[in-house]
């Protein structure tokens, strides 16, 4: 968790996003992104790219929890509902760790004090960064 927080503070965009891991176990991660005005679109919802960033981060962090240094190779994002609320919660779970790739599934929820709604789902392929390459 400390390493994850360090990574967040080092990154300009992640720092701007303010993504914060709230649960972590090998192969699984949960993070929260508090929604502020700069992360919304003109209808007041979280912007699709912000929802995508939540999903991507959850996938990359879940992969990192079993494979160390990683970088996102590709992901497919389905936007299922408008992301209305005061925070995003993203849950990433490793499906399979192969030799060079980790396959990860993530769900993103928009939440306020009383409700939590599934707003996006994603499937990612996260590349394992090789030491000697």
CA separation, residue 120 to residues 27, 76, 108, 124 (Å):
20, 10, 5, 13
Q: How many residues bind its own copies (CB under 8 A)?
A: 47
| Residue 133 to residue 117: CA distance in whole angstroms | 42
Contacts with its own copies, 49-68, as mask; x by CB under 8 A: xx-xx--xx-----------
Nearest-CA neighbor of 66 among 5, 32, 24, 7?
A: 24
Return the range that interacts with its own copies (CB under 8 A); candidates 21-29, 44-52, 84-92, 108-116. Answer: 44-52
DSSP code per residue over 22-62: EEEETTEEEEEEE--GGGB-TTSSBPHHHHHHHHHHHHHHH
Please give the DSSP secondary-structure letter assigned to residue 83.
-
Nearer to its own copies, 25 or 74 (CB): 74
Least distance to its own copies, CB of residue 112, Å = 18
Least distance to its own copies, CB of residue 88, Å = 12
Q: Which residues bind its own copies (CB under 8 A)?
A: 7, 10-17, 37-42, 47-50, 52-53, 56-57, 71-81, 95-96, 98, 100-101, 103, 105, 107, 118, 121-123, 125
């Amino acid at each position: 968790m400390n390493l994850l927080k360090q990574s967040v503070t080092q990154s300009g965009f992640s720092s701007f996003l303010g993504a914060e891991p709230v649960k972590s176990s090998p192969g699984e991660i949960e993070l929260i992104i508090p929604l502020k005005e700069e992360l919304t679109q003109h209808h007041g919802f979280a912007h699709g790219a912000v929802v995508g960033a939540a999903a991507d981060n959850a996938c990359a962090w879940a992969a990192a929890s079993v494979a160390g240094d990683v970088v996102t190779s590709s992901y497919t994002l389905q936007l299922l509902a408008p992301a209305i609320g005061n925070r995003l919660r993203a849950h990433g779970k490793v499906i399979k760790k192969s030799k060079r790739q980790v396959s990860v599934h993530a769900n993103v929820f928009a939440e306020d004090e009383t409700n939590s709604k599934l707003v996006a789902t994603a499937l990612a392929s996260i590349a394992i960064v090789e030491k000697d390459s």
